[in-house]
Amino acid sequence: MVYIFDGTKSGFLTAFLVAYADPEAVLASEKIQLPLGQTPVFVATDEARAEKAKNRLLAFDRDCMRDLDTLLRSGMENREQIALGYFRVLAREKRPVSKRLAEREVFEAVECMKKVGHEIHKFHGFIRFMETASGALYAPFAPDNDICDLLLPHFRARLPQFPFVLHDIKRKKAAVYDGQNSFVAPLERAEILLSANETGWQALWKRYYRAVNIPSRERLKQMKGYMPVRYWKFLPETQTSAEDL
Amino acid sequence: MITEEKLKILTESAKYDVSCSSSGSGRKNAGGMGNGYVAGCCHSFTPDGRCVSLLKILLSNDCIYNCKYCPNRLDADVPRATATPEEICELTIDFYKRNYIEGLFLSSAVYKNPDYTMERLLLVVKKLRTEYRFHGYIHLKGIPRADEKLTEEAARYVDRMSYNIELPSEQSLKLLAPQKSKESLLLPMKKLTEQSEAFREEKKKGLVKGYFLPAGQTTQMIVGASPERDGQILRLTQALYRKNGLKRVYYSSYVPVVKDKLLPEVGAGQLREHRLYQADWLLRFYGFSVEEIVDEGEDLAMELDPKCAWALRNMHLFPVEINRAPLEVLLRVPGIGAKNAYKIMEARKYTKLSFEDLTKMRVALKRAKHFITCNGKFFGAKNEYAVRGLLAQAETQESAEQLDLFGMLSTPQNALIALHGQL
Ligand code: SF4
């Protein structure tokens, strides 16, 4: 049976209770390609039941809600299914299971969480701010996983005096720090007026980037391995403009 | 704002310094901008596959010294530039704010004289920390023969310092970098190590505040510009780690930028550099000593990584049982890296690991299978010759993939030799 829920943590926990006894269960939050003849069950989120499930699971592993949060942020299509497998093992073992890597479900979940974690780390480096006329910083990007708010603490600690916006273009949302507080908000498009020096600094950065490369040692494959091409769109240094040619 | 032209001159030649690491400092934001990132952070990658983490720049490329291999030596006819401290500070701040970089790697040619150069460098880092209130990462290159007091003061502002040994013996230094000497490089390193130990002691007692090289010291050696063997180089490395407390030694395979009859015309292959790094890892993280890895007068084998080579010389120690071997032993199994060793230690607490379990955990077994048993079962090749051949073959395939080889292993003859295990 296919169980569809709303993608939230409470939704997952409700669906988990419903699907637990069904060994063939497929859990999903978005429209998925249904096998022929299957009618999905829509599970309505039930906060009270979810809360109960949460407390029971937390008694087995007090970090498991953090794991669930991470899993549901994954950009992988089968993230809900991976989470289901992982929580099944947890419910069966009744104690933390994240180190049981020889179990397929655990391994898959751990890998999935690692990917989210890695992308956060990557974007600590790959975020590119532009300076706007007001002095606030604006960074558009399109991460694989739903992580824009998880980047907030890092940049807040580092740039406490600058209001900034981390704009996830793909999910049309933004993590915002206004100089004092931070929050997440839906954001379709942003109208940006750049500061007078912005293009000048970008040009210097591109100049620097070209200067430090050693052309006789080109290793594009390796470069792309570390810095996937899908991220390039938002990096000034990988954009060639007419004057660079 | 610094001009593009000046930036180009001052960064072009700084790029041959391979260290770009921004790790090891947990410096806090104390108002102003920036902080340290203990794990280090890459902000971009250039088409040569290298990480861009720091703004690597020279304060000046106008040198009074004449190191033979250096494009900025006194005799060279190249455009010269010297930046003002403000230019460097602004550039750092504005790059950092946009998240282009993790911090600054500041170095310089010897401009006018060593003391003057060191004074200017000190001025930059002091300004950055105090006036610009910058708390991001700073790596400062020390100037040999500069006044000790200047060096010590600079160390209080920066996260890491380095003196590049460049040439791994006194002889080669005399020949190729006549104004430097082993002494002029090793002495300040030693001093700084002592001072930082003293500082840490006092800090523990609450007598001092602040930082003193929280990310320690590093150095770099050019490989292949002079005749030293890998065995000799790695002995120096080991001494630097053990006696001087260095955090890292970098190796830079020689790139002939300058023509001189004393210098080789071709660069050292990147494969040699790669092997040195592998051996260096064995020293730092795998509990090996250099004596186990290579004899003083020898080079590392090119066709096998140093751990495989060691294992083949010590076949009597293998195979080891994956469910029982202690960590130090697992770490010595070819193909099992530190991460996998820890993974195995964890997972075997819950179940007796079989060969399939390892595969499921994505432990690479191509090499390891010849050196382990899983629950007493062995899946490797029967005899040592076969193992040797298979390892060399695995190496050829992987290097070809990873390092877009480098002549030597990609010629059909060599691949064939590797296949037959006759290396
Ligand atoms: S001291 Fe030697 S290596 Fe450094 S810039 Fe001058 S000539 Fe070059």
- Which domains does chain B show, CATH number per domain? 4-293 (3.20.20.70), 306-420 (no CATH)
How many residues does the structure list for chain A?
245
* pLDDT over threshold 80, residue B422: no
Q: Over the stretch B63-80, which tens digit does the pLDDT of each residue have?
A: 999 988 888 999 999 999
Instruction: Give the Cα separation of B119 and A69 in Å (integer).
Output: 52
Domain boundaries, chain A: 2-119, 125-186, 196-244
H helical segments located in B131-258: 148-155, 170-176, 182-204, 230-242
Q: What is the pLDDT of residue A40?
A: 85
Q: Tell me the two tokens of residue B252.
A: 């830079």
pLDDT of B135 reads: 96
Q: Which of B350, B357, B395 is nearest to B374 (CA)?
A: B357
Which pLDDT score, from 0 to 100, does residue B411 have? 31
- Between CA B297 and CA A126 the distance in angstroms is 44
CA A193 vs. chain centroid, Å, equals 28
Chain A CB contacts of B351 under 8 Å are: 100, 102
Average per-residue pLDDT for chain B: 88
Instruction: Output the pTM of the full model.
Output: 0.88
Residue with tokens 């290793």: A219
Nearest to B67 by CA among B156, B165, B134, B139: B165
* Residue A243, pLDDT score: 52
Q: What is the pLDDT of residue B383?
A: 79
Q: CA B101 to CA A237: how far, in whole Å?
A: 12
pLDDT number for residue A35: 66
CB contact under 8 A, A223 and B48: yes
DSSP class of residue A142 equals: -
Instruction: For the sheet with B377-378, list strands across it.
Output: B320-321, B372-374, B377-378
For residue B350, the distance in angstroms to the closest alpha carbon of chain A comes to 7
Per-residue pLDDT band for B225 (boundaries 50, 70, 90) equals confident
Query: What is the spatial distance between Cα B399 and Cα B412, in angstroms, rounded to a whole number?
Result: 14
- Give φ, ψ of A171 to 5 degrees: -95, 0
Q: Report the alpha-carbon distance of residue A81 to residue A25 in Å, rounded.
A: 9
**Amino acid type, A44:** A
What's the pLDDT at B195?
Answer: 95
CA closest to B253 among chain A residues:
A217
**Ranges of residues in chain A whose predicted pLDDT is under 70:** 31-36, 241-245
pLDDT confidence bin for B404, thresholds 50/70/90 = very low
- Give me the pLDDT at residue A128, please: 98
Dihedral angle of Cα A149, A154, A156, A162, to the nearest 10 degrees: -100
- Minimum-distance CB partner of B346 among A101, A158, A203: A101
The C-alpha torsion from B277 through B278 and B284 to B286, rounded to 10°, is 180
CB pairs under 8 A between A and B: 147
Residue B178 has what pLDDT? 87
B222/B225 Cα distance (integer angstroms): 7
B387 touches B312 (CB < 8 A): yes
Instruction: Provide φ and ψ at A176, rounded to 5°.
Output: -120, 140
Question: What whole-number distance in Å separates Cα of residue B102 and Cα of residue B95?
Answer: 9
Which of the four pLDDT bands, split at 50, 70 and 90, describes residue B418?
Answer: very low
User: What pLDDT is recorded for position A31?
Assistant: 63
Between CA A106 and CA A115, with CA A111 as vertex, the angle to 5 degrees is 150
Take residue B142 and report the two structure tokens written for it: 């020390």
pLDDT in tens, B90-141: 999 999 999 999 999 999 999 999 999 999 999 999 999 999 999 999 999 9
Looking at the CA of residue B66, tell me the nearest atom of ligand 1.
7
Contacts of B145 (CB under 8 A, 6+ apart): B114, B184
Chain segment B281-292, per-residue pLDDT in tens: 999 999 999 999
Nearest to B8 by CA among A112, A215, A100, A209: A209
Chain B residue with CA closest to A111: the answer is B361
B407 at A interface, C-beta within 8 A: no
β-sheet bridge partners, residue A73: none
Which chain B residues are closer than 8 Å to A208 by Cβ?
A: 7, 11, 55, 95
Is the CA virtual torsion B202, B206, B207, B208 positive or negative? positive
For residue B362, give both structure tokens: 């994505």
- What is each CA distance from B11 to B6, B15, B74, B230, B298, in whole angstroms? 8, 6, 18, 30, 36
Binding pocket residue ranges, ligand 1, CB within 6 Å: B 63, 65-67, 70, 72-73, 109-110, 177
Q: A242 versus B19: which is more confidently predicted? A: B19
Are A213 and B353 within 8 A, CB to CB? no
Cβ atoms of B22 and B103 within 8 Å: the answer is yes
Between the alpha carbon of residue B315 and those of residues B128, B294, B334, B370, B371, the distances in Å are: 55, 17, 12, 10, 8
Rama region for B308: left / alpha / beta (φ>0; ψ in -120 to 50; rest)? alpha
Mean pLDDT calculated for residue range B27-47: 90
Query: What are φ and ψ of residue B45, in 5° steps?
Result: -135, 135
3 state DSSP class of A64: helix
Residue B95: its H or E element: helix B85-97
- Identify the pLDDT of residue B408: 34
Torsion angle in degrees (nearest 10) through CA of A45, A46, A48, A53: -60
Diameter of chain B measured on Cα atoms: 69
Q: How far is the CA of B137 from the centre of ligand 1 (A)?
A: 24
Residue B30 pLDDT > 90: no
Q: Name the closest residue on chain B to residue A228, using Cα atoms.
A: B45
The DSSP bridge pattern shows strands A182-186 and A173-177 to be: antiparallel
User: Where does the pLDDT of residue B38 fall: very low under 50, low under 70, confident under 90, or very high at 90 and above?
Assistant: confident
Contacting residues for B43 by C-beta, under 8 A, at least 6 apart: A125, A126, B52, B53, B99, B100, B101, B102
**Of the residues B16, B61, B63, which should be mutated to test ligand 1's pocket, given the most ligand atoms within 8 Å of the CB?**
B63
Strands B372-374 vs B320-321: parallel, antiparallel or unpaired: parallel
Report which ligand 1 atom has the smallest distance to the Cα of B71: 8
* pLDDT band with cut points at 50, 70 and 90 for residue B265: confident
Each residue's pLDDT tens digit, B338-357: 889 999 999 999 889 999 99
